[in-house]
């Protein structure tokens, strides 16, 4: 049997290689690739914490990612599709529920999933849950419920145009109009930068 040109690298050696002075370019490339994959998941309306995916889910997501990247028109198409996906989200796209231990969380409702995501889903909701963080001003459940409560009741869009002027005590913070595609794209880009 011929000797393999590839050797098995353990976790400790991988960590050392990734943080070695000579691997600055490798870190830059890997960071860029991870950012690109996260952005792909975001634009498709999919859960972005891929570190928690099981191997089958990660494989399915990476296959879709690689297929979309290899097409020459992918960035333009992906950007247009992501804006359209965001425009199609409604107030019922996400819901609040509680698990068996009574912990509340926000999740993407199954009836709002796209065809491709539904094929890969094994339960009634997506694999992502954002759990309540009691006492935190960054609690996703509190933030979601506050956001939903301030939306215009006459508009079903999840992303609505904010009023030109408002105060924290106002009952409604948004106009009876969905946010435009360019505004959505800009908002998601800003959220992505903050998240990284």
pLDDT in tens, 8-33: 778 787 777 666 655 565 666 677 77
Helix (H) or strand (E) holding 177: strand 174-178
Model pLDDT, residue 3: 60
Res. 85: pLDDT tops 90 = no
Cβ atoms of 45 and 114 within 8 Å: the answer is yes
Res. 69: pLDDT tops 70 = no
What share of the chain in percent tops pLDDT 70? Answer: 72
Model pLDDT, residue 18: 63
CA–CA separation, 178 and 31 (whole Å): 34
**Mean pLDDT of all residues in the chain?**
75
Tokens 């050797």 belong to residue: 7
pLDDT in tens, 148-190: 999 999 999 999 999 999 888 899 999 999 988 888 878 877 7
Model pLDDT, residue 74: 43
Partner residues linked to 130 by β-bridges? 106
pLDDT in tens, 103-152: 999 888 854 444 444 444 444 444 578 889 888 888 889 999 999 999 99
Model pLDDT, residue 154: 96
Residue 109 makes CB contacts below 8 A (sequence gap 6+) with 92, 93, 94, 95, 125
Domain-wise residue ranges, the chain:
11-70
Model pLDDT, residue 158: 92
Model pLDDT, residue 120: 46
């Amino acid at each position: 049997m011929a000797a393999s040109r590839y050797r098995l690298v353990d976790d400790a050696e991988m960590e050392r290689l990734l943080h070695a002075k000579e691997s600055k370019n490798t870190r830059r490339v890997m960071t860029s690739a991870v950012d690109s994959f996260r952005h792909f998941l975001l634009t498709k309306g999919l859960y972005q914490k891929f570190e928690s995916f099981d191997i089958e889910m990660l494989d399915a997501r990476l296959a879709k990612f690689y297929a979309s990247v290899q097409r020459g028109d992918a960035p333009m198409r992906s950007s247009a599709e992501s804006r359209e996906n965001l425009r199609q989200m409604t107030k019922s796209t996400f819901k609040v529920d509680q698990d068996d231990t009574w912990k509340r969380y926000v999740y993407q409702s199954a009836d709002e999933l796209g065809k491709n995501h539904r094929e890969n889903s094994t339960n009634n909701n997506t694999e992502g849950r954002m759990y309540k963080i009691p006492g935190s001003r960054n609690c996703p459940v509190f933030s979601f419920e506050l956001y939903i409560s301030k939306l215009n009741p006459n508009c079903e869009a999840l992303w609505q145009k904010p009023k030109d002027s408002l105060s924290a005590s106002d009952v409604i913070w948004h106009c009876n109009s969905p946010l435009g595609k360019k505004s959505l794209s800009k908002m998601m880009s800003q959220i992505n930068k903050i998240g990284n």
